[in-house]
């Protein structure tokens, strides 16, 4: 395959100026990302503050027109963006991976542009009337993770720009090139200072969280970092949207046909090789269908091609970084040592590259095992047997996390009744992790607070103002 590099050429700096960013699969250097400092952050925030009034003054219609032009440009450059994303993040081009992620960037940009948000009349009596208007907040600081770096950045940037804010974005130190490439396309259409990428290390992220020039933080990442951001934001009272970690449970009810749910169940667990916040991370299966579900998942794990992302046909890739590889390996080893049954996988795949770990299904495992209780964020799913649905619901809810959950059954009404009792920001029926740019998404409990997408997402990056007469 010929790898297109014009955007990469535009964003990469020289070897002496930048940090080498490896291809996640081969570990060869793709390019060099700038290493910005807190002083660079200060300059970016100052530029964003200066640019914000004029950007806000353009009005919704003009900003929406610009965002739609950006979405067109993302589509026109989709293959180059997908190739870069695939190399840096590791996700294959095919399957629900790199091309899918770039496509979602265009869709979410367009939806942020086109979603109407009119003032709301909240009280009316005689001559009295109260309306809520949604103003720009000012400067938004966007801090993102390495698993869906382009798409999650768009979730943070597009609604913020639409609402008249300017944005300073800090990508994960593992995937700066993907976000720089995304911003390179955005910035072909934006005035100077409206969107700036500060490609720094964790201390730059920490400085954003407490920066006096930043009015709102959109953060997606781990719960541990989320807690630090809450503390840092005390000084400037920055508004926060926190999309944090998950340990999503799925419950397969008695009477479910495993073949009918196989495909969606598998991708619920293994999308982006399991490195997805709202992936299915522990699966509770009724005793009557347990063996069949385990065998079905194991069959798909064995037959789903894993390898370098740029090689067409692969649908599973490597872990993005060594730290995550060690976490996944450690949790599966721990499960094995406790006597759980590794049905397939359970080992690295060094012939594919240093960070590949085979798609793994672990059966005969219980709550209390680290693979069940902790977020694996990788290609290893524990399948837990249950016989009483009340017990399964209790165990699903026992987690400190509450991002997503799912219920699987041919009887959708029965599934909805179970869904009502689960503690999560989203409960899916017969699917897991499916997102829609108009449907609010966010977590409960330690998975964070605030919602993204749709009208709720626009309001989250706006200052509500009541006009009362
Ligand atoms: P992370 O928390 O380690 O890093 C996220 C970002 O925060 C990075 O850009 C990092 O540089 C920055 N950062 C680090 N320290 C900081 C600080 N003190 N203040 C401000 N920023 C700081 O997370 P990660 O390893 O990149 O991502 C994986 C985690 O993200 C998983 O737990 C996953 O579940 C979660 N996640 C959640 C969602 C969601 O929508 N809820 C989506 C994707 C990932």
**Residue ranges of domains in the chain, CATH in brackets:** 6-244+447-468 (3.40.605.10), 248-429 (3.40.309.10)
How far apart CA 262 and CA 30 sit, in angstroms, is 36
Overall average pLDDT of the 37-65 stretch: 98
Ligand 1 atom index nearest CA of 173: 11
Contact 246, 278 (CB under 8 A): yes
Task: Please give the distance of CA 431 from its chain centroid, rounded to a whole number.
Answer: 17
Helix/strand/coil for 58? coil
pLDDT at 286 over 70: yes
Residue 450 CA: distances (Å) to CA of 63, 94, 220 = 24, 32, 11
Over the stretch 165-182, which tens digit does the pLDDT of each residue have?
A: 999 999 999 999 999 999
Overall average pLDDT of the 397-417 stretch: 98
How far apart are the CA of 145 and the centre of ligand 1, in A?
5
How far apart are the CA of 170 and the centre of ligand 1, in A?
11
Q: For atom 15 of ligand 1, which residue has the closest CA?
A: 202
Task: Tell me the sheet residues that pair with 34.
Answer: 18
Q: Is the CB of 222 under 6 A from ligand 1?
A: yes
How far apart CA 413 and CA 125 sit, in angstroms, is 41
Q: Is the CB of 245 under 6 A from ligand 1?
A: yes
Contact 423, 402 (CB under 8 A): yes
How far apart are the CA of 179 and the centre of ligand 1, in A?
14
pLDDT-derived band of residue 12, with 50, 70 and 90 as boundaries?
A: very high
Over the stretch 61-87, which tens digit does the pLDDT of each residue have?
A: 999 999 999 999 999 999 999 999 999
Overall average pLDDT of the 392-398 stretch: 98
Q: Is the CB of 266 under 6 A from ligand 1?
A: no
pLDDT-derived band of residue 1, with 50, 70 and 90 as boundaries?
A: low
Residues of the chain with pLDDT > 90, as a percent, come to 98
| 374 noted as active-site residue | no
Ligand 1 atom index nearest CA of 246: 34
Q: Is the CB of 332 under 6 A from ligand 1?
A: no
Helix/strand/coil for 185? helix
Residue 401 CA: distances (Å) to CA of 110, 176, 383, 413, 424 = 31, 28, 18, 26, 8
Q: Which of 221, 229, 230, 272 to mutate to test the pocket of ligand 1 (most atoms within 8 A of CB)?
A: 221
Ligand 1 atom index nearest CA of 155: 40
Q: For atom 4 of ligand 1, which residue has the closest CA?
A: 221
Contact 359, 379 (CB under 8 A): yes
Overall average pLDDT of the 267-285 stretch: 98
Residues of the chain with pLDDT > 70, as a percent, come to 100
pLDDT at 376: 98
Helix/strand/coil for 229? helix
pLDDT at 455 over 90: yes
Over the stretch 350-370, which tens digit does the pLDDT of each residue have?
A: 999 999 999 999 999 999 999
Q: Please choose, from the candidates 41, 56, 55, 50, the residue with its C-alpha nearest in 3D space to the C-alpha of residue 196.
A: 41
Share the mean pLDDT of the chain: 97
How far apart are the CA of 447 and the centre of ligand 1, in A?
12
The one catalytic residue in 173, 243, 374, 375 is 243
How far apart are the CA of 296 and the centre of ligand 1, in A?
33
Q: Please choose, from the candidates 275, 329, 290, 304, the residue with its C-alpha nearest in 3D space to the C-alpha of residue 146.
A: 275
Q: Is the CB of 243 under 6 A from ligand 1?
A: yes
Selected residue with higher pLDDT from 4 and 339: 339
pLDDT at 3 over 80: no
pLDDT at 2: 67
Ligand 1 atom index nearest CA of 443: 41
pLDDT-derived band of residue 5, with 50, 70 and 90 as boundaries?
A: confident
Contact 399, 247 (CB under 8 A): yes
Helix/strand/coil for 354? coil
How far apart CA 265 and CA 267 sit, in angstroms, is 6
pLDDT at 4 over 80: no
Q: For atom 21 of ligand 1, which residue has the closest CA?
A: 205
């Amino acid at each position: 395959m010929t790898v297109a590099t014009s955007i990469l050429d535009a964003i990469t700096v020289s070897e002496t100026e930048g940090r080498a960013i490896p291809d996640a699969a081969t570990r060869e250097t793709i390019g060099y990302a700038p290493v910005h400092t807190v002083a660079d952050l200060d300059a970016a925030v100052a530029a964003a503050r200066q640019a914000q009034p004029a950007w806000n003054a353009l009005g919704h219609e003009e900003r929406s027109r610009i965002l739609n032009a950006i979405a067109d440009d993302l589509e026109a450059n989709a293959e180059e963006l997908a190739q870069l994303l695939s190399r840096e993040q590791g996700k294959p081009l095919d399957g629900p991976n790199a091309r899918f992620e770039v496509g979602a960037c265009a869709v979410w940009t367009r939806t942020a542009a086109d979603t109407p948000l009119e003032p709301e009349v909240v009280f009316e009596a005689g001559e009295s009337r109260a309306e809520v208007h949604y103003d720009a907040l000012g400067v938004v600081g966007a801090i993102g993770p390495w698993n869906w770096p382009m798409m999650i950045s768009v979730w943070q940037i597009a609604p913020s720009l639409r609402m008249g804010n300017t944005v300073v974005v800090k990508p994960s130190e593992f995937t700066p090139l993907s976000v720089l490439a995304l911003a390179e396309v955005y910035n072909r259409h934006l005035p100077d200072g409206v969107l700036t990428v500060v490609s720094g290390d964790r201390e730059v992220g920490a400085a954003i969280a407490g920066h006096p020039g930043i009015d709102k933080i959109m953060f997606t990442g781990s719960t541990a970092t989320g807690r630090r951001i809450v503390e840092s934001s005390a000084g400037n009272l920055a508004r926060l949207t926190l999309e944090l970690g998950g340990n999503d449970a799925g419950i397969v009810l008695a009477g479910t046909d495993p073949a009918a749910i196989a495909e969606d169940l598998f991708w619920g667990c293994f999308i982006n090789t399991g490195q997805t916040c709202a992936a299915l991370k522990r699966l509770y299966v009724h005793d009557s269908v347990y063996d069949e579900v385990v065998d079905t998942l194991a069959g798909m794990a064995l037959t789903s091609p894993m390898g370098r992302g740029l090689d067409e046909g692969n649908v599973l890739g490597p872990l993005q970084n060594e730290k995550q590889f060690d976490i996944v390996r450690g949790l599966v080893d721990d499960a094995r040592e406790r006597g759980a049954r590794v049905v397939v996988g359970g080992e690295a795949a060094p012939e594919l590259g240093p960070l590949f770990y085979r798609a793994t299904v672990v059966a005969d495992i219980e709550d209390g095992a680290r693979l069940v209780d902790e977020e694996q964020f990788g290609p290893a799913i524990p399948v837990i047997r249950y016989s009483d649905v009340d017990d399964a619901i209790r165990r699903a809810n026992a987690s400190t996390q509450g991002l997503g959950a799912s219920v699987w059954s041919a009887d959708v009404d029965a599934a909805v009744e179970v869904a009502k009792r689960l503690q999560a920001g989203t409960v899916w029926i017969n699917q897991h992790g499916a997102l829609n740019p108009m449907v609010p998404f966010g977590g409960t409990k330690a998975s964070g607070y605030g919602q993204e997408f749709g009208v709720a997402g626009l309001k989250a990056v706006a200052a509500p103002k009541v006009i009362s007469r």
